[in-house]
Amino acid sequence: MTEIRLTNTKTRKKEVFTPIDPENVRMYVCGPTVYDRAHIGNARPAIVFDVLYRLLRHVAPQNGWGKVTYVRNITDVEDKIIARAAERGISIDELTSTTERWYLDDMAALGVLPPDEAPHATDYIPQMVEMIANLIDKGHAYAAEGHVLFAVDSYAEYGRLSGRSVDDMIAGARVEVAPYKKNPMDFVLWKPATGDEPGWPSPWGKGRPGWHIECSAMAQAILGETFDIHGGGNDLMFPHHENEIAQSCCANKTDVMANVWLHNEMLQVEGKKMSKSLGNFFTVRDLLDKGVPGEVIRFVFLSTHYRKPMDWTEEKAREAERTLDHWATFLSVDHEVLEADIGGIAPDDGVIEALSDDLNTSLALTRLRQLGRRADNSPEFLSLSDKEQFSERLRFLATVEFLGLTLRERAREKRSQPRAASLERLELALAYERTAAKESKDFSQVDRLKTALVEAGVEVRMTKDSIELIPGPDFDPSKLEALG
């Protein structure tokens, strides 16, 4: 049995994960509001919870669990959507359907698996209306001037998730001032639709749901009144997740909405907060169109623990590219491995152990680098039988793919290229060893390679950001054969 430990925002503790119903492990993650391209910050929760989804599915059979149900919603009715459609002069349906396809394509390029369920808010309006009416009947909500608002004072636990008092939340939040509110913190469950705005019939007039009630209703309809894991970025902790808990617990008369709350930290670019005013705001598609492969983007994201702020830098992208390219280079010579069916090959136990400890993707990548170094014609690898070498490389490739990274296409491209590549291969090897040495503080392998290259008549030019090998007048390729 594999024990998974997760840091629960609600308790501020790392806890052993135990599903409510072992036959159906249930997870809900807040998905995109489909009005524009996903920026790279939007990609972080998609990747974080994709890793958790992969882990849960992997350990479920060992732990005697049944299926894993992962729900990630699509918000397709919201004020930003209405404003953007009007700005572009297109219908809301055209905007949301196009933007949703963009999102799915971009996430697929990052190795993100589709969830089991991707409910659209507009398909659950009746459930939202029913939940709102239920809250009114129980004294937790009230109608006023075509609106319905949740009465924050009616829920004593409000603020527990974020650890704030109501007074603190009022001071720190952008509270909408409205004469029909009984309390400044009361939030909208239903709002009237005016003019050509989208709207649905309700006991309170034609209108549309507030953002928070959408997730509560969809989660309840698909996963039940209580479920195992609720996730999202920490920017959603307040007010969105706080409001979800209040609505769901009050409507369902439960103590909890989800047993475990997981929140990933935010993303920076080159050490600064991402913003359009700083000129460092870009989308996933911007990176892909610039030629940054999806597996490189994912590798950079996995290199930082989800509970730590992540800094996207060009240097990290270059290092990720070098590492993946190096792995692809040594795998490219092994046609049998590249074409093998690895469906039944389990990923490395050390990687699973790292991920099981609060999704430690950084440690998992460290373990993967160790596996890569061993499988790249290391003395230990070469001492194995042919069958054992084949098995070891299959395990390495299966582990790479378990983490959502892709190598086979890259390796096949290298296999189809002319084989001039002894220096190119060693350039990649030296870059790879230098990256590994920065972690281990052991530069002996780097020094060994440099010495061998110089003895073969190669000039080694190393800067902080690059490595270049230049054959000199006394270059003797035969002296490099022992290096591969």
The number of helix segments (H) and strand segments (E) in the chain equals 18, 15
Is the pLDDT at 419 greater than 50? The verdict is: no
Of 94, 90, 92, 64, the closest CA to residue 78 belongs to 92
Contact 76, 120 (CB under 8 A): yes
**pLDDT for 334-389, tens place per residue?**
889 999 999 889 999 999 999 999 999 999 999 999 999 999 878 898 899 999 99
pLDDT for the residue numbered 481: 66
Q: What is the pLDDT of residue 420?
A: 44
Pairing of strands 310-312, 267-269: parallel
CB atoms inside a 10 Å sphere around CB 418: 5
pLDDT at 200: 97
Q: Which amino acid is present at 314?
A: E
* pLDDT at position 379: 84
Q: What is the pLDDT of residues 211-246, one digit of tens each?
A: 999 999 999 999 999 999 999 999 999 999 999 999
User: What pLDDT sits at residue 78?
Assistant: 94
Rounded-to-integer distance, Cα 267 and Cα 281, Å: 11
User: What is the Cα–Cα distance from 205 to 192, expressed in whole angstroms?
Assistant: 7
In this prediction, residue 167 carries a pLDDT of 67
pLDDT, tens digit (0-9, with 9 covering 90-100), for 431-479: 888 888 888 889 988 898 888 888 888 888 888 777 878 776 677 777 7
Contacts of 311 (CB under 8 A, 6+ apart): 267, 268, 269, 270, 271, 304
Q: Is the pLDDT of residue 114 over 80?
A: yes
What's the mean pLDDT when you consider all of the chain?
Answer: 92
Closest of 296, 297, 299 to residue 282, by C-alpha = 297
Q: Would you say residue 390 has pLDDT above 50?
A: yes
| Residue that wins the pLDDT comparison between 162 and 122 | 122
Q: What is the pTM of this model?
A: 0.87
pLDDT at 104: 98
Nearest Cα to Cα of residue 326 among 372, 394, 378, 395:
372
Q: What pLDDT score does 417 carry?
A: 65
Name the band, by pLDDT with cuts 50, 70 and 90, for residue 140.
very high
Share of the chain above pLDDT 90, in %: 74
Q: Which residue do the tokens 């000129």 mark?
A: 279
Give residues with Cβ within 8 angstroms of 331, minimum separation 6.
Answer: 337, 338, 393, 397, 407, 408, 411
pLDDT at 323: 93
